[in-house]
Structure 1
Amino acid sequence: MGIMVLVFTRTTFGLRLRAVAQNQSSAALLGLSAGLWLALGWAVSCAVGTVAGVVAAPTLGLSPAMMTVPLLMALAATNLGGINSRVGVVVGGLLVGLLSAIGGRYIPGLGGDLNVLLAFGVAIVVVLIKPAGLFGRESTVRA
């Protein structure tokens, strides 16, 4: 995570990826090919996902559905922290990790894959109270 923060904040590669992701038309005016940079962004995300799969495979087992629970936990963490806030997603991930560890230990019958229920329950409560998540900002786009 630290390496990705450094890449996206300290390199021209990261700056260009962020520029295209935030405003494709302005990035095109700067001479950046949106298609190329979006493809490079997908390539980086595939590489990070591949590393995550290789690291997780020995503990989760190798099957087509091996990352289902971690992906659901990541979705809950993203909604909890706020989809448009990078810091919020990290904090949401830490909160989901703590909730699943503590919930599996102290709530009887809630262990293994059922920790997803606790993570989504908390995420739903937070989204009902604050729709953009804990750190997210609501925005209104008018045409």
Structure 2
Amino acid sequence: MYKNVSKKIQKMAAAVAIINIIFGIVLAVMGLTAASQASRASEIVRAAQKTGTGASMIYDPTLDYEASAVLVITGIMLAISGVFTSWIIYGFGQMTQDVSQLKADLSASTALSSKQADDISALRKIAESISTKQTENIQPAADQKAE
């Protein structure tokens, strides 16, 4: 569950975008459908007004037009906001992936640095032992010449 989280976040962002676009399109289509029904209803009200029945006082077609406009606008805004939201979530997933890659690179570099430091300390020990042996060899020779 907690392995490769960045890819899961990126997949979730893509799913959020697709779902929001689908729901946005559905809402917009519902709004357009409601607008066409409001158009038909207003024709019925006009016919009722011509005949003199009281149906025109009960029904106001402008409310249907406003409701359908709200549905269309909501659908469009949902689709657009879903895309922007998914970009932010996808960017967070990308950032998570980059940070984990930097962490892996840094740990590899640190391991290499510690190995190099171990190698340098080993070389120093070898150099010290060589210099100690040379100093020991030089001192007996100097003592022999002095005698």
Which TM-score applies when normalising by structure 1? 0.24
Which TM-score applies when normalising by structure 2? 0.24
| Greater share of helix | 2
Between the two structures, name the one with larger relative contact order (CA 8 Å, sep ≥ 6): 2
Bigger radius of gyration among the two: 2
